[in-house]
Amino acid sequence: MNNKKSNTVSASKVTLTELMLPSHSNFSGKIHGGYLLQLMDQIAFASASKYSGCYCVTASVDIVNFLNPIEIGELVTLKASVNYVGTSSMVVGIRVVSENIQTGKVKHCNSSYFTMVAKDEAGNTTKVPHLVLSNSEEVRRFFDSLRRINQKKNLIQLEEKFEHLSEESLASLKNHNVVVKL
């Protein structure tokens, strides 16, 4: 465990660049989303571990929208940094871009947020250093993470209260492409 009381966002920054090979492709000849998720999980681990000085595990992954396909032969660059810290958790922001080596064209492929949890040698959660925010962009990313965390908590509360078999809920399904036969 790292005994530092605080750490900076820049201490968590990690960049990973990899050439996309035919072995990384799916049936349509584009880079497989599962392979990209694997790379994202690796860089989230590296960023969180670098920041905290601890072994880290993935607790959750926020929405991953595949914005643009990645072609075989393109260079994919993933950039990650810690955007938010709790007691033992960290939100790692990840941006993925690809570059066509021949044309130099760069496209944004996706962005996502991985929540990582620091563990000690016994496998128990452990405290992470306080996050030092050094500029307005880091403050914005921290508040964005806080907003997503609060939205997730509110959604969980709504889901716990939602009665899916009520007459009102079942009646609302008429607006969707579904048939209910109970």
Is 61 inside a domain boundary? yes
Is 173 inside a domain boundary? no
Quote the CA–CA distance of 180 and 23 in Å, as a whole number: 43
Residue 91: give the domain boundaries.
Answer: 6-133
Is 83 inside a domain boundary? yes
Q: What's the whole-model pTM score?
A: 0.89
The CA–CA distances, whole Å, from 87 to 21, 131, 135, 157 equal: 40, 11, 22, 22
What pLDDT, in 10s, does the model give residues 28-69?
Answer: 999 999 999 999 999 999 999 999 999 999 999 998 999 999
Is 62 inside a domain boundary? yes
What pLDDT, in 10s, does the model give residues 95-140?
Answer: 999 999 999 999 999 999 999 999 999 999 999 999 999 999 999 9
Please count the structural domains in the chain: 1
Is 166 inside a domain boundary? no
